[in-house]
A and B are shown apart, each in its own frame.
Chain A
């Protein structure tokens, strides 16, 4: 690790901004003032990410809707039609879509944030800006997808005449916990990937494994009792269940307070660890990348 830290003091001296760059000083975990100064860059980069993703595609932004929809139709076919899984609650397409919506958001934020530094290596080595802008703008762009999925979900709920209860008001809370966890892991991944490109290969494997031990296509109740603890060890399980509870009601999701407390703790830990490692490595990104 690089032995240096830099402190940027913005001391106003009359009307001339004075910047002091020094070796060996500490900065807070998140320098909010710097982030606010660079907020326009954050928005512009998020906008770029969204625009670029569907450039030179025929269907363009339609893919944002089509991808999760096709995913849930496949699930519906495999589990609903082929396996004839009988379960209480709402139609299986809704069930799968709600799960996928949450899982895809987690997976998109985690994996895209992880590669956000490497994908912008040129910018990092040529220009100064708070490095945190890159992961944050990437995460913001991924949230657009969530917004589209949510709209899609609303349409499907209307179509099936299924009304979520008041529990839906808690959805933003689950989303914040989910994104915090994904962002924390993503920051850790991004900082490590600058030095160890291996991380780029590990993350897809981790996500694949994660999907198998998360209640995405199946409810935790459908999992045999003796394996259920594996699911509950996964801090995402409580959140995915809560997502479904909010969107589809108690027949399709379980609201478990201990599981949610566990998720919150895991999200906080992930964010703190990811943020700290990112901060420590930040100053040497341009030297190593």
Chain B
């Protein structure tokens, strides 16, 4: 490929960090002093290990359009972004970047709490690489986009977090680099503002001379925006290609790797709290799992120890299945079937058979509530379980639904008949 079609190319890219493990910590003051005197500049007894956050990474990104960078936590996405935006230096390899780069790893970098909105526009703009005259030229556009005109001369520490983010994004949105590197900033702000941001990203992405690299956990926005994706896993490139293919790969990998106890979830311990809910398990096709295909059966098994709440006389259970953005798709409550569970017989295993729920593909979280009948919940576990729904040929004809085509699929019957042109007139 000739370099004139390329925006970014990386060869043999690697980044290692040295991590120190403390083998034994001094436990008292005297011991700590002795330790310090023995190794005045050391950090205690340590074992040093080299950790490769990225290793042997090769890829090329063509000019124009939006490329998504996805991967699980710790896959190396952030490290890659930091290398591309020159915040930190690679340990091995080379990156070639063709064009002016601006990176947006957070909104409002360099914002100062004490300064006014106006001052911060100039400050943030120059931190992002704009010249003063450029900022002046775009000043009205920035204010217009942010909608904080009235508070322009108020210190930003008095802003609501929404206003703060809007102003910060507005400055960033006026950047006109050839290559823009963006990290998760879409995850902020209210829904209306998010739509505005996505619109802005689409606008930039449709300009053939500009290239956007977008890192996000939000598969929905990635699928909506990116033409191509790069999937990272354990510091390496796992796959690169058209977005939907790579996302499918990601979902499949997600399910396969996370399998020490797939489909078994335990509430996170909180200091000073004992929970009646012991475990949540997801079953499908007779197996415990956290990954099902669209159209598969689903049943949830909850283990409860009611003795934690001795005053409680009987229990009802509620499951809420929600999208990654917290939108409730469906509620499954025992009260809906007038079912109460007795509490006097020790530990309970409560099973909820949800049948073949018509979920669309995607990642869902399961929220669990425990209550006495007709009372507010005594226990609430947000996102206790995670359920991955993989795409499947549910219509039996090879037509797949995208993630953004709704939360569930539904077979509809279609028919048509020819209508007489004058039927209406004659009826009069």
Check if B105 sits within 8 Å of A13, measured CB to CB: no
What are 15 residue pairs bridging A and B, where the CB atoms are less than 8 Å apart in the complex? A5-B89, A13-B3, A14-B4, A19-B101, A20-B94, A20-B97, A21-B83, A21-B95, A21-B97, A23-B94, A40-B126, A45-B126, A125-B87, A126-B105, A287-B17
Which residues of chain A are within 8 angstroms of B244 by Cβ–Cβ distance? none
User: A4, B100: Cβ atoms under 8 Å?
Assistant: no
Q: Are B99 and A127 in contact (CB under 8 A)?
A: no
Do A127 and B110 form a contact, CB below 8 Å, given A6-B89, A51-B115?
yes
B109 within 8 A of A: yes
* Complex contact A16–B98 (CB within 8 A): yes
Q: Per-position contact with A for B78-116: 1 when CB-CB < 8 Å, else 0?
A: 000011011111111111111111010110011010110
Q: Which residue of the partner chain, among A52, A125, A127, A287, contacts B128 with CB atoms under 8 Å?
A: A127
Indicate with 1 or 0, residue by residue over B274-294, a CB within 8 angstroms of chain A CB atoms.
Answer: 000000000000000000000
Given the interface pairs A44-B122, A48-B115, A287-B17, the reply to whether A21 lies near B128 with Cβ below 8 Å is no
- Closest 4 CB pairs between A and B? A6-B89, A128-B86, A55-B114, A44-B126
Q: Are the CB atoms of A18 and B96 closer together than 8 Å? A: yes
Choose one: A51, A122, A287; the contact of B88 (CB below 8 Å).
A287
- B357 within 8 Å of A (CB atoms): no
Chain A residues with Cβ below 8 Å from B92 are 23
Interface string of A39-59 (1 = CB under 8 A from B): 011001100100110011000
Q: Is B322 among interface residues, defined by CB-CB distance under 8 A?
A: no
Chain A residues with CB under 8 Å of B89's CB are 2, 4-6, 21, 23, 283-284
B103 partner residues in chain A, CB cutoff 8 A? 127-128
What bracket does the count of chain B residues touching chain A fall in? 35 or more
Which A residues are closer than 8 A to B by beta carbons?
A: 2-6, 8, 13-14, 16-23, 40-41, 44-45, 48, 51-52, 55-56, 120, 122-129, 283-284, 286-287
Question: Which chain B positions have C-beta within 8 A of A22?
Answer: 90, 93-95
Which of A21, A45, A52, A55 touches B94 (beta carbons < 8 Å)? A21
* Residues A8 and B86 in contact in the complex (CB < 8 Å), given A44-B126, A51-B119, A123-B109: yes
Q: Which residues of A contact B129 (CB under 8 A)?
A: 41, 129
Distance of A124 Cα from B94 Cα, bound (Å): 22
- Indicate whether B196 reaches chain A with its CB closer than 8 angstroms: no
Q: Is A6 within 8 A of B90, CB to CB?
A: yes
B127 touches A (CB below 8 Å): yes
Contact A129 B131 (CB under 8 A): no
The answer on a CB contact under 8 Å between A48 and B87 is: no
**Residue of B with least CB distance to A128:** B86
B109-150: CB near A (< 8 Å → 1, else 0) gives 110101100010011001111011000000000000000000
Docked-complex contact B112 and A52, CB < 8 angstroms:
yes
A23 contact from B93, B98, B131, Cβ within 8 A: B93
User: Once bound together, how far apart are the Cα atoms of A55 and B114, in whole Å?
Assistant: 7
Q: From known contacts A16-B98, A19-B96, infer whether A127 and B114 are also in contact, taking CB-CB under 8 Å.
A: no
Q: Is B189 an interface residue, CB under 8 A from the partner?
A: no
Contacting residues, chain B, for A4 (C-beta < 8 A): 89-91
Q: Which of A13, A52, A120, A283 sits near B115, CB closer than 8 Å?
A: A52
Q: Are B105 and A127 in contact (CB under 8 A)?
A: yes
The smallest C-beta distance from A102 to any residue of chain B, in angstroms, reads: 30
User: Is A13 a contact of B128 with CB atoms below 8 Å?
Assistant: no
Residue B228 at the chain A interface, CB threshold 8 Å: no
A23 to chain B, nearest CB (A): 5
Closest to B87 in A: A286
Distance in angstroms between the alpha carbons of A123 and B46 in the assembled complex:
30
Q: How far is the CB of B179 from chain A (nearest CB, A)?
A: 9
Question: In the complex, what distance in Å separates the CA atom of A40 from the CA atom of B105?
Answer: 21
In the complex, how many angstroms separate the beta carbon of B286 from the nearest chain A beta carbon? 49
Report if B178 contacts A (CB, 8 A).
Answer: yes
**Closest Cβ neighbor of B41 among chain A residues:** A196
A17 touches B106 (CB 8 A): no
Inter-chain CA distance A200–B83, complex, in Å, is 29
Q: Is B377 an interface residue (CB 8 A)?
A: no
Q: Could you tell me if B119 and A21 are in contact, using CB atoms closer than 8 angstroms?
A: no
Question: A165 to B39, alpha carbons, bound, how many Å?
Answer: 56
Task: Give Cα A51–Cα B112 distance, bound, in whole angstroms.
Answer: 10
Closest CB in chain B relative to A58 CB, distance in Å: 15
Contact A3 B87 (CB under 8 A): no
* Complex: A262 Cα to B92 Cα, angstroms: 44
Docked Cα-Cα span, A217 to B226, in Å, equals: 67
Q: A18-B98, A123-B110 are in contact. List 16 more A-B contacts (CB 8 A).
A: A3-B91, A16-B99, A18-B97, A20-B96, A20-B97, A21-B95, A22-B95, A23-B90, A41-B126, A44-B122, A48-B119, A51-B115, A52-B112, A127-B103, A283-B89, A287-B17
Q: Which residues of B contact A45 (CB under 8 A)?
A: 123, 126
Contacts of B4 in A (CB 8 A): 14, 16
A128 to B96, CA, bound (A): 16
B96 CB, min distance to chain A CBs, angstroms: 5
Residue B333 interfacial (CB < 8 Å): no
> Which residues of chain B have C-beta atoms less than 8 A from A120's C-beta?
110
CB pair A126 B119 closer than 8 Å:
no
State in angstroms the CA–CA spacing of A44 and B105 once bound together. Answer: 21
- Contacts A18-B96, A23-B89, A127-B85; is A55 near B17 (CB within 8 Å)? no
In the assembled complex, the Cα of A231 lies from the Cα of B92 at a distance in Å of 50
Instruction: Determine if B155 is an interface residue (Cβ-Cβ < 8 Å).
Output: yes
User: Are B91 and A126 touching (Cβ within 8 A)?
Assistant: no
Pairwise interchain contact B109-A122, C-beta atoms closer than 8 A = yes
Which of B82, B86, B98, B122 has the largest count of A CB atoms less than 10 A from its CB?
Answer: B86
